[in-house]
Homo-oligomer: A and B are copies of this chain.
């Protein structure tokens, strides 16, 4: 371990930590406690179920409830029962809440703009910062089983289909799965890789309930490619498949996705003949567990 390099890294993290402390202080200066503020930001323009919010922020149900009451009293959000299941409640921002979010985002953007002026648009520096952020996020990423119907899964799938549309030159849109249980335990699973607030990628196992499943929707965020995330997602999917007691995995893919082809071949998948009628597939693979 070369000590001088370590000292340089320590200085770097120390400096950036001070920067982050400054940002937190600037946000706190708006006079709102950080807890409710984080909740407000998470609710965002789209709104969010209370349970999902609680999971996302990993808060105790009591604390969550009190923070939502506070935001409601301040007129920033409304919390209404879910019409389909009145036990569940849904938080949504009022115009005042949206304005508060926008103000906080502007504050963050202003600080980033200061940094931008400072770096004077130096592309070498920006590229290095991208690289550091990519490596760090991939290294510290955590994998999580999520609900395939959740907002997070939907966001991943939107990004995935946008990517496909670009690759194929055709407008793909995410359709609703005709068999929603296939992507949930015990038949299948939906895995997402994340780092803090950032979604790095996802992969799903679509099980038939007879010990077999298809790998679907392997997606890696464009910001986080080239650092082995696809491989790690596939490995995690395999591990999850074994845990679910699955014995055979299949997948199809297209010649327009060359990096995926390489990935499957390197990970020990066997190319097999066409097993479905997917008009966009050119290659079919199988793996026995």
Q: Mark A109-131, 1 if CB is under 8 A from B, else 0.
A: 10111111011010011111111
**A30 an interface residue at 8 Å Cβ cutoff?**
no
Partner of A124, one of B13, B113, B128, B137: B128
**With A1-B116, A20-B20, A198-B11: A125-B126 Cβ-Cβ less than 8 Å:** no
**A139 an interface residue at 8 Å Cβ cutoff?**
yes
What's the minimum C-beta distance from A130 to chain B, rounded to whole angstroms? 6
**A136 an interface residue at 8 Å Cβ cutoff?**
yes
Q: Determine the distance from Cα of A47 to Cα of B115 in the docked complex, in whole angstroms.
A: 36
B112-A135 in contact (CB<8A): no
A19-B121 in contact (CB<8A): no
**A2 an interface residue at 8 Å Cβ cutoff?**
yes
Q: How many copies does the complex hold?
A: 2
B125-A10 in contact (CB<8A): no
A114-B139 in contact (CB<8A): yes
Partner of A23, one of B13, B116, B130, B133: B13
Residues on B with beta carbons closer than 8 Å to the beta carbon of A130:
8, 11-12
Residues on B with beta carbons closer than 8 Å to the beta carbon of A118:
135-136, 139
Q: Which 5 A-B pairs have the closest CB atoms?
A: A128-B128, A18-B196, A15-B133, A12-B129, A9-B112
